[in-house]
Amino acid sequence: MKRYFITGIGTDVGKTVASAILVEALQADYWKPIQAGDLHQTDTMTVKSLVSNKQSVFYHETYRLTKPMSPHAAAFYDGTRIIPDNIIPPKHNRTLIIEGAGGLMVPLNDDFLMIDLIKKLNAEVILVSKNYLGSINHTLLSAEALQKRNIPVKGIIFNGKPVDITEIFIRKYTGLDFLFHIYNEPVIDKQTILKYAAKPTMKTKIDW
């Protein structure tokens, strides 16, 4: 079955909302290997609360770290070390949505990055970008890093207020397929996620 790794051009760009939309649209399973901080309300809990279908399975994190820091630092302060060989994808019968922590070059330990984990898991990337000053640079660097490592990219999702001139340039320069846009919503709830998941373009842009 397909594995899609949801990563972003940085932190707080909308990976979790994008993951919820994809889980709902594809009736996929969900797994976040590393949760750093917010253990009272993890990203797994958030996605599960936003998904309406009853088929999706939500797997436990491999590492649950107490501090909202980069994984290698959070692990250090928790008195542990992230061992990549311990991060084993769950057995799944449906498409698996894997959500990363932070961006591609976030360290998991002293010599292993998030992008290395993507390669290890043999997953296809869906890149989430958000429009802010500097986002072109961050998006292009992310796309280049994936390309240099021969990691396949399914496409790009833009989050937030549209900025056409920015998005057109990013799409043209990177050649990434545009999947969909998440707009600024007054409320993010199950109905919001269902609205995006039901869009006809979802069927043509992403493998079912």
What is the block-wise mean pLDDT of the chain (208 residues), using blocks of 10 residues?
Answer: 95 96 96 96 98 97 97 97 97 94 96 98 97 96 98 97 96 96 96 91 58
Give the pLDDT confidence score for residue 8 in this predicted structure.
97
Catalytic residue IDs: 32
Q: Which of 13, 22, 49 is nearest to 5 (CA)?
A: 22
Give the pLDDT confidence score for residue 203 in this predicted structure.
52
In single-letter form, the type of residue at position 99 comes to: E
Task: Specify which residues 181 forms β-bridges with.
Answer: 158
Give the pLDDT confidence score for residue 199 in this predicted structure.
81
Instruction: List C-alpha distances in Å: 11 to 7, 8, 58, 104, 164.
Output: 9, 7, 22, 10, 22
Structurally, at CATH architecture level, domain 3-205 sits in 3-Layer(aba) Sandwich (3.40)
Domain ranges of the chain: 3-205
68 and 74 in contact (C-beta within 8 Å)? yes
76-134 residue pLDDT tens: 999 999 999 999 999 988 999 999 999 999 999 999 999 999 999 999 999 999 999 99
In single-letter form, the type of residue at position 14 comes to: G
Phi, psi of 25 (to 5 degrees): -65, -40
172 and 139 in contact (C-beta within 8 Å)? no
Give the pLDDT confidence score for residue 183 in this predicted structure.
96
Mapped to the 3 state alphabet, what secondary structure does the chain carry? CCEEEEEECCCCCCHHHHHHHHHHHHCCEEECCEEECCCCCCHHHHHHHHCCCCCCCECCCCEEECCCCCHHHHHHHCCCCCCHHHCCCCCCCCCEEEEEEEECCCEEECCEEHHHHHHHHCCEEEEEEECCCCHHHHHHHHHHHHHHCCCCEEEEEEECCCCHHHHHHHHHHHCCCEEEEECCCCCCCHHHHHHHHCCCHHHHHCCC
Give the pLDDT confidence score for residue 147 in this predicted structure.
97
Give the pLDDT confidence score for residue 205 in this predicted structure.
63
9 and 138 in contact (C-beta within 8 Å)? yes
